[in-house]
Amino acid sequence: MELTEKERELLELYRVHKKKKRQNLLISSLLVLLLSGSLYAGYKYVYEPSKKSVAKMEEQIEKVDRTAPSLILNKESIEIKEGDAIDYLLYISSAEDEKDGDLLDKVKYTSIDTTKSGDQTITYMVTDKAGNKATAALHVSIKKKETNKPKEEPEEKKEEPVEIQQPSVEEPVYVEPQQPAPSIPSTPQPVVPSAPAPVVPQIPENKQFLFSEGYNMENVSGACMAYITGYTGGCYPLQNADGIYYGMEARFE
């Protein structure tokens, strides 16, 4: 395990103390050997620290805080919709250290992007004064947000065209020209010069009798019949593309 900064400082002090003790003892030994004439090559000295210094060192090392704090979440996983906001601190149950006490305000966490569906993780971390760390993870499942279907607007009621009653006469009416019956003389008549042939009256043009002009189903047939009287022709009902009657037409043959 890697030594903490405090432990490294204590170890360095111990080494300096050991080095000074060794130097002082070595100089004293050399002086004694020089005076006694017993100095020889290959002399080896081993320093052993006192029990008091060792106990003090162990006491200082034991005081070093190596225990990580406790970080507990109230849930392991949650499920949200796309775009929902998250209260990160809501899921922290406790953050405590045996020496530093409550560390709730020291907790840090990673943020996530809730606009994208899928699985993501929020990592929580807290550190005590000695540098010991504790972590916890919250798994977040982000579901796709259901799109609201636009409300269907009620269809506007279409005004149904007023159906015009079809004339009772379905087929065109033909009116034969009225011609006087030939009279047979009871007695022979004198022969007279033949008279010129009578002039045939000119056939009038076809004519439309429209409801927009004031005609209706009651008088349109009579007006059309009166117009073709004396000629060969007929009256025909007029309909538009939707089958609605809008008048009658007099046609001549």
3-class state of residue 210 by DSSP: strand
Continuous H helices in 37-102: 51-62
% of the chain residues with pLDDT over 70: 61
- Six token digits for residue 222: 């009579």
| Closest among 106, 223, 247 to 167, alpha carbons compared | 247
Domain regions of the chain by residue span: 5-62, 70-143, 207-252
How remote is the C-alpha of 99 from its chain's centroid?
A: 50
3-class state of residue 35 by DSSP: helix
Q: Which residue has the higher pLDDT, 79 or 50?
A: 79
| Closest among 157, 160, 112 to 137, alpha carbons compared | 112
- Six token digits for residue 197: 């042939």
Least confident range from 6-10, 125-129, 204-208, 241-245: namely: 6-10
Maximum mean pLDDT: which of 36-45, 153-162, 186-195, 243-252 = 243-252
pLDDT at 14 (0 to 100): 73
95 in Cβ contact with 107 (< 8 Å): yes
In tens, the pLDDT along 172-219 reads 655 555 655 555 555 556 555 566 666 666 788 899 999 998 899 889
Q: CATH classification of 70-143, choosing from 2.30.30.830, 3.20.20.70, 2.60.40.10, 1.10.3720.10?
A: 2.60.40.10
Q: Which residue has the higher pLDDT, 113 or 35?
A: 113
Least confident range from 36-45, 58-67, 222-231, 240-249: namely: 36-45
pLDDT band for position 252 (cuts 50, 70, 90): confident
Query: What is the chain's alpha carbon radius of gyration, rounded to the nearest angstrom?
Result: 62
3-class state of residue 140 by DSSP: strand
User: Residue 47 pLDDT more than 60?
Assistant: no
User: Residue 77 pLDDT more than 80?
Assistant: yes
Give me the phi and psi of 94, to 5 degrees please. -160, 155
Quick one: CA dihedral 179, 181, 187, 188, positive or negative?
positive
- Six token digits for residue 230: 């004396």
User: Residue 44 pLDDT more than 90?
Assistant: no
pLDDT at 34 (0 to 100): 57
90 in Cβ contact with 79 (< 8 Å): no
pLDDT at 15 (0 to 100): 77
User: Residue 167 pLDDT more than 70?
Assistant: no
**Gap between the Cα atoms of 67 and 124, Å rounded:** 18
pLDDT band for position 41 (cuts 50, 70, 90): very low
